[in-house]
């Protein structure tokens, strides 16, 4: 099976309807990631088929949960690294305004190149430590795929969350211990078990909100 067929089958299995040209952009992003990875070591996954399942489809599985009442929902991907899940999210849902945040300049250099080459007008790239980042406006959704444990994630990003906003943390096994250590000011409002085509591993999307 080609990577094109693998991606198309995965998108269909997830029940996603993507904009015209989105699958081609996702594969172009993967090719860029592979090219830059040889120099910058952006990901440990190097096999093309595994990159489709472990990166693209793993990120796309969470897309249905990035919905909101406003069409220009502001999303922050913290510790974005090679752009996951932020770039697949921006491609799949061009109505979202997605900001990728990373403190390592060589990673944000790649992200800026990807933004330019893929023509992602709804993508913003910031080089900063999360605790030092002070944008003019906060975010409706803050997400992360491999940034830190949940307590550190919510503590370091609390100042970036808009009133009524929420965190979406992508995790592997259900993080019982991390949830037990959350501050009293944060509660788990939902847990979604994600089924990722081609990935025989547990995946959870933990939704967190400030406690009333």
Per-residue pLDDT of the chain (212 residues; tens, 9 = 90+): 899 999 999 999 999 999 999 999 999 999 998 888 877 766 656 666 677 888 899 999 999 999 765 668 999 999 998 999 999 999 999 999 999 999 999 999 999 999 999 999 999 999 999 999 999 999 999 999 978 899 999 999 999 999 999 999 999 999 999 999 999 999 999 999 999 998 888 999 999 999 97
| pTM (2 d.p.) | 0.95
160 and 135 Cβ atoms separated by less than 8 Å:
yes
Gap between the Cα atoms of 22 and 162, Å rounded = 29
Q: Which domains does the chain have, with CATH numbers?
A: 3-210 (3.40.50.150)
**What's the confidence (pLDDT) of residue 166?**
96
């Amino acid at each position: 099976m080609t990577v094109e067929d693998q991606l198309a089958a995965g998108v269909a299995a997830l029940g996603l309807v993507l904009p015209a040209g989105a699958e081609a952009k996702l594969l172009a992003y993967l090719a860029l990631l592979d090219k830059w990875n040889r120099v910058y070591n952006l990901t440990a996954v190097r096999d093309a088929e595994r990159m489709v399942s472990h990166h693209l489809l793993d990120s796309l599985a969470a897309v249905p949960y990035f919905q909101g009442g406003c069409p220009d929902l502001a999303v922050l991907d913290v510790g974005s690294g090679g752009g996951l899940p932020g770039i697949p999210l921006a491609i799949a849902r061009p109505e979202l305004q997605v900001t990728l945040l990373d403190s390592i300049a060589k990673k944000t250099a790649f992200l800026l190149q990807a933004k330019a080459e893929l023509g992602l007008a709804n993508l913003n790239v910031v080089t900063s430590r999360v605790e030092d980042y002070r944008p003019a406006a906060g975010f409706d959704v803050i997400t992360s795929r491999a940034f830190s444990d949940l307590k550190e994630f919510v503590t370091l990003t609390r100042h970036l969350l808009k009133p009524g906003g929420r965190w979406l943390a992508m995790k592997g096994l259900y993080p019982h211990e991390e949830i037990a250590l959350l501050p009293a000011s944060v509660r788990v409002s939902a847990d979604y078990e994600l089924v990722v085509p081609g990935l025989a591993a547990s995946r959870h999307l933990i939704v967190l909100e400030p406690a009333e």
